[in-house]
Structure 1
Amino acid sequence: MKRKLNQYTFQNWFRNFKAVCKQLIIPFTIFQAIRTFIFPTTIDVLLLAIFIAISLAYHYEWI
């Protein structure tokens, strides 16, 4: 039987980690976008796509 996860049952360290990631993902995304614009490589484009996906997930509260 599969249980749903309740965000209030997470431990404190996990909630703190999630809050820190939520605050830092936008600056990392902006930095990566600038880096990708100047030195476009495959790894930079993939990393930027991952950062954008994480940013959207936090914005729409999918995570």
Structure 2
Amino acid sequence: MARFYRYRLPPWARYCLLVCERCTLPIMIFQALRTIFIPTTFDIFLLAICIGIFLAFYLKWI
């Protein structure tokens, strides 16, 4: 099975991936602040998903 390689994607898909990668940190910070002030189950679940996506980008899994 071939490994996923982001640079083989079309330019528009690489650009979308880059935009998503750049937007994850501000969204994660906003969600963390929201979870601190108004903690609900949904907020905690959403923060966990944001952290997972951020780590996937940071560790080059995506």
Please say whether Structure 1 and Structure 2 have the same fold, judged by a TM-score greater than 0.5.
Answer: yes
Using the alignment, how far apart are the partners of 1:22 and 1:10 within structure 2? 15
Q: Which residue in 1 is equivalent to 2:9?
A: 10
CA deviation map 1:3-27 (0-9, x unaligned): 4443222111110000001110000
TM-score by length of 1: 0.89
- Given residue 36 of structure 1, which amino acid in structure 2 is its aligned partner? T
How many residues of Structure 1 are paired with residues of Structure 2 in the alignment? 62
Rg larger in structure: 1
Using the alignment, how far apart are the partners of 1:22 and 1:40 within structure 2? 26
What SS is found at the alignment partner of 2:60? coil
| Structure 1 segments of 4+ aligned residues over 4 angstroms from their partners | none
The gaps in structure 1 that reach 5 residues or longer are none
Equivalent residues in 2 for 1:21-40 (5 A)?
A: 21-40=20-39
Q: CA RMSD in A?
A: 1.1
Report which structure shows greater RCO (CA 8 Å, sep ≥6).
2
Query: Among the aligned pairs, what percent are the same residue?
Result: 42
CA deviation map 1:21-47 (0-9, x unaligned): 111000000000000000000110000
The gaps in structure 2 that reach 5 residues or longer are none
